[in-house]
Structure 1
């Protein structure tokens, strides 16, 4: 290990800054609503920057995918462009969920269906979530250990101890401290620090890689060792692995609509927006936040690693990297650590420390969000409803903190014992299917269909759970039972669960009807139940028809309308380009020149970086403003100790 002193200073600054901000945020925590959702006073830019949802484990997952398949997944991800546009501009699910004022998704389930269903759904959600989170500490700790090139063991009190469990313990401890100290307030403000540094850092790292590794070299690297009939550059030829082909992304598109707001790994953010309008605006702005980070993480970094490890002109750089990869462990760990080890050897002093600080920041910020979500869901949606009455605020907060610690302990033990046998992204799909397979139908039906019933909701969630659990059991044991590979990956199991649950929810609601349709106006605080302080008026007749279709309301500012129209134009242009090129490539491939795809990826990278630099500055400044407003609003608010997520009134249709 030979790391420059400048890098150690930069690396140390990240956890120190996170600790100090978390400590400072504690003074603003005065009630349960503060701990769960920052008392619902977060602005759009703060939500956008803080809720980056690009953790260290996701870095490994994306690097693993791109290194295995090349660039085709980036092309097929454009399949979801119109869906992203629809979700961002219309506020589908997002707006109505915020209208309910529920602090957690299961609280909404109780208000819409029943307390027993809240318990049932919360238990499934929690089991699915903690299993999904269970591999985070191991993968994150491996990334940190291998990237920092730390020794495999360290000696403490004369006894050699493995480094990876110690790293898990160290970073989890800081994540637990953040989540427990100030709850969602501390999480949001420390995640803002990490998100801001991440956006700015990836601009610098992207420019460095492009300046030191030419685009022809990156393309030549991808062309190496490519079997006949597949390509790591041209998405229309064929994928280098069947796990991440076009069907993986088509299923993902379906899941984007079906499970909007279903996954509760960031439940605190789902309820933290100041108004439903701010929640929608945060979704629109988020489409511009990720331009540079996605380009750097999903394209430039893994492509650089691939070129260095495959091209003869980089043999001198590749030899020590390959030796480190060979010493990393089994084949699964070697595959996960290939890109981290490569990039750690390629960055100069200063940039190495900056990138390491980003990795540490993403590790802490991602895990504190997950720990907070699954810890609070266990108390809010399982313990409190079972008890049947609310806790005293001080005791309530103590239980929330103890639950967070419990989730961290489980994840630590699970990571030490579980042997991951598939890609990280496929494991996410598989464990997520336990809950997400049925949750989408229950949420959409509950928010948009008055005739959706509790019976239909039970049946939908049960079907998704059985398929999800069954998939895990089969995937883990199929090869041992049959000596063959399991024919379905996690993504296909996820799709089957979604389709089955949707049909079962509709049929179950029709076959098990309730006495009268549900009163959605009361649930959504509309009509005579309307909250004037949070209401965003519906589109006025004087607005253009396109504006009304996009969900623009009469009280939108000029800049907000411009942002909506700009997002619509940008994403529609990309979708049109995707359709035209895909059709040409399939029907008339001779019309596309041989250099089309290398040229396209080149200009795509530079366009995203150029746009991303502008958007990074804009969003960062807005986030700083919103962070100041967050503390000001928390300081001057009136505390409502009864706002703790406990539902005192049963669901009613009156």
Structure 2
């Protein structure tokens, strides 16, 4: 299907609205706190809608995985539900980090450990982050080219240029302008508009896909994916159709979800932007409802693509798609662009333009957040600690932040041109993330929850995690050359002969080994070294250090830790519901608990029943159909509710910013650092 004037008009309207909102919002930036965290005035719905959507690279990565594996990953992902529920309802890490009032994670590291450790952690976090971000423009630029049907190359002034270079530059320039214009304020408002648009468009696409492709046809196509008899794209117990995304991938992800809660700083501005710690917790709970329709749409699209490209009755429809895929040449691009090209050739006019708006919306909303985050982290957590003094004026500080943001965007542009992308996107994310995430979780959890954790332990844990993560990425990239040297030295070593193309340990396992090693190091060094007791009340602004603006519900409203009191157990107590919570908030918490635990009990029952009597593919076909219909029905209702709340919060943010008074000293520089943990 070719783009029409109607389709292009959707794109033009979206970009014009985003540009107008950016120009309007920038007037509210009067200080560093505004630029970094919207002066900590964001409401729960605004945080939920704006801060948690997939970027374009996330969409492509999920489509790539689901097209290769089918539905089983969705089943094994259910084992994580109790963990996600625990993290959301209890506010694990989220509540305490907001209590610190730190603008970045590494600022908390300085307050908890030392300034030198802040600088060290900031460098590692920034390096890991920009490497991770480096492939975003590559994936997005190519997606725009192939989805819009642009020529792969063109001649300009006698020079042949790749079209995806231009698309990368243009969309990155737009995202960078949003980030530089008003920082977290413009990012949050424009991302809210894009997030709201995406929720509505995803709902429309789900209805369209279920109307055009019957569930029986989709299942018939998936059956062909498991035709070898040793795997299935429907039955999760029949074996994975892709070795990289087996059950261990999700078990490691389960452990990492707890270990690295709020460790990744790609959206650091949102982590600090909540109006109160309580507001941050409620936003996390509401996030479970926001993504229902979007998740189902992201699942359905590659399933429909697989059916169309494999069923004989769709041979005529599949032919131009297959031809377009074959013309790509690069095997990595073929896997990444299969699903987008399916959409390009099957969506009707109108929906084609709406989905193009989704692509641009996801690209801009993700990348403006990332360039803002990594640019800010470089200044706040590398430059400031090295300077050992704040900037002379807020204007100088803001200029440095903006220049750093532009630098991150330029790095992403150049890296995407030069770096040869290999393997699955999620595996690249696991490898680059392991450089920092391998050790960060132990340092964060120990710093917020254990007063015995020491600075020496933090140094050791983060260093060990980085060594394992960085070593893994180097070995993976150099494996073909390294294998040749090893084979010459040990020609009869059978294990080397078994892995002629890829390093035998994938990115997810490297990530797991890094987490375990760093945790052991943190605990051991803290216990074996000099005994130190850190004042957590001062760090978390509790007791005599309380900050009135962070309280909800008056005196006693602040969530306190349960420290050995003898209050009788109750569900309310277990979920962390305190006097901060209104009746409606309690309803949301209980509803979230019932919905997620209900599906987890279904997972447990399915595992138990299948152990006794294996379930047939026919059963699994019916199960997935019911799962999708229930999710779609509830998800559409939640989309309307959350959109209305987000609009209210966005308007309230502007009202609050008009009357807020910035403290020029609240700029992320720790002026009275007590090295009590040394």
Normalising by the residue count of structure 1, what TM-score does the alignment of the two structures yield? 0.98
Deviation for aligned residue 1:588: 2.2
Are 2:665 and 1:638 equivalent residues in the alignment?
Answer: no
> 1:556 aligns to what?
581
Q: Which moved more, 1:558-567 or 1:153-162?
A: 153-162
> 2:592 aligns to what?
567
> 1:305 aligns to what?
305
Distance (whole Å) between structure 1 residues aligned to residue 92 and residue 234 of structure 2: 34
> 1:282 aligns to what?
283
The answer on whether the counterparts of 2:460 and 2:522 sit within 8 Å (CA) in structure 1 is yes
SS at match of 1:129: helix
> 2:570 aligns to what?
545
Q: Deviations over 1:564-616 (max 9, x none)?
A: 11111111111111011012112321xx3542100011111111110100000
SS at match of 1:154: strand
What are the within-5 Å matches in structure 2 for residues 253-652 of structure 1?
Answer: 253-297=254-298, 299-391=299-391, 392-482=393-483, 483-514=500-531, 516-535=532-551, 536-538=557-559, 545-589=570-614, 592-651=615-674
Deviation for aligned residue 1:154: 2.9
Deviation for aligned residue 1:20: 1.2
> 2:44 aligns to what?
44
Deviation for aligned residue 1:532: 2.5
> 2:494 aligns to what?
none
Distance (whole Å) between structure 1 residues aligned to residue 584 and residue 51 of structure 2: 23
Deviation for aligned residue 1:17: 1.5
The answer on whether the counterparts of 2:235 and 2:617 sit within 8 Å (CA) in structure 1 is no
Q: Deviations over 1:380-423 (max 9, x none)?
A: 00101111111110010000000000011111111001111110
> 2:192 aligns to what?
192
The answer on whether the counterparts of 1:276 and 1:534 sit within 8 Å (CA) in structure 2 is yes
SS at match of 1:233: coil
Distance (whole Å) between structure 1 residues aligned to residue 169 and residue 580 of structure 2: 49
The 1:158–1:272 alpha-carbon spacing in structure 2 relative to 1, beyond 3 Å, is: same
Unmatched segments (≥5 aa) in structure 1: none
Distance (whole Å) between structure 2 residues aligned to residue 335 and residue 526 of structure 1: 51
Q: Deviations over 1:282-310 (max 9, x none)?
A: 0000000000000101x210011101110
Distance (whole Å) between structure 2 residues aligned to residue 154 and residue 606 of structure 1: 46
Distance (whole Å) between structure 1 residues aligned to residue 29 and residue 47 of structure 2: 18
Distance (whole Å) between structure 1 residues aligned to residue 180 and residue 247 of structure 2: 41
> 2:113 aligns to what?
113
Distance (whole Å) between structure 2 residues aligned to residue 575 and residue 232 of structure 1: 21
Distance (whole Å) between structure 1 residues aligned to residue 150 and residue 357 of structure 2: 15
Are 2:9 and 1:9 equivalent residues in the alignment?
Answer: yes
The 1:106–1:474 alpha-carbon spacing in structure 2 relative to 1, beyond 3 Å, is: same
Q: Deviations over 1:424-451 (max 9, x none)?
A: 0011011100000000000000000000
The answer on whether the counterparts of 1:89 and 1:564 sit within 8 Å (CA) in structure 2 is yes
Unmatched segments (≥5 aa) in structure 2: 484-499, 552-556
Normalising by the residue count of structure 2, what TM-score does the alignment of the two structures yield? 0.94
What are the within-5 Å matches in structure 2 for residues 124-273 of structure 1?
Answer: 124-157=124-157, 159-226=159-226, 227-273=228-274
SS at match of 1:237: coil
Deviation for aligned residue 1:271: 0.1
The answer on whether the counterparts of 1:519 and 1:652 sit within 8 Å (CA) in structure 2 is no
The answer on whether the counterparts of 2:141 and 2:165 sit within 8 Å (CA) in structure 1 is yes
SS at match of 2:548: coil
The answer on whether the counterparts of 1:194 and 1:365 sit within 8 Å (CA) in structure 2 is yes
Deviation for aligned residue 1:327: 1.1
> 1:18 aligns to what?
18
Q: Deviations over 1:223-252 (max 9, x none)?
A: 114222100000111000110010000000
Q: Deviations over 1:498-543 (max 9, x none)?
A: 00000000011122235x3000000000111111331243479999
Distance (whole Å) between structure 1 residues aligned to residue 549 and residue 159 of structure 2: 62
The answer on whether the counterparts of 1:50 and 1:191 sit within 8 Å (CA) in structure 2 is yes
SS at match of 2:296: helix
What are the within-5 Å matches in structure 2 for residues 60-79 of structure 1?
Answer: 60-79=60-79
Aligned-pair Cα RMSD in Å: 1.5
Deviation for aligned residue 1:262: 0.3
Distance (whole Å) between structure 2 residues aligned to residue 415 and residue 111 of structure 1: 36
The 1:538–1:469 alpha-carbon spacing in structure 2 relative to 1, beyond 3 Å, is: closer
Q: Deviations over 1:468-514 (max 9, x none)?
A: 11111111121333234211110000000000000000011122235
SS at match of 1:238: coil
Distance (whole Å) between structure 1 residues aligned to residue 253 and residue 225 of structure 2: 29
The answer on whether the counterparts of 1:110 and 1:651 sit within 8 Å (CA) in structure 2 is no
Distance (whole Å) between structure 2 residues aligned to residue 513 and residue 128 of structure 1: 32
Distance (whole Å) between structure 2 residues aligned to residue 423 and residue 653 of structure 1: 44
Distance (whole Å) between structure 1 residues aligned to residue 639 and residue 155 of structure 2: 43
The answer on whether the counterparts of 1:451 and 1:513 sit within 8 Å (CA) in structure 2 is no
Q: Deviations over 1:43-80 (max 9, x none)?
A: 00000000123000001100000001111111111111
The answer on whether the counterparts of 1:217 and 1:307 sit within 8 Å (CA) in structure 2 is yes
SS at match of 2:154: strand
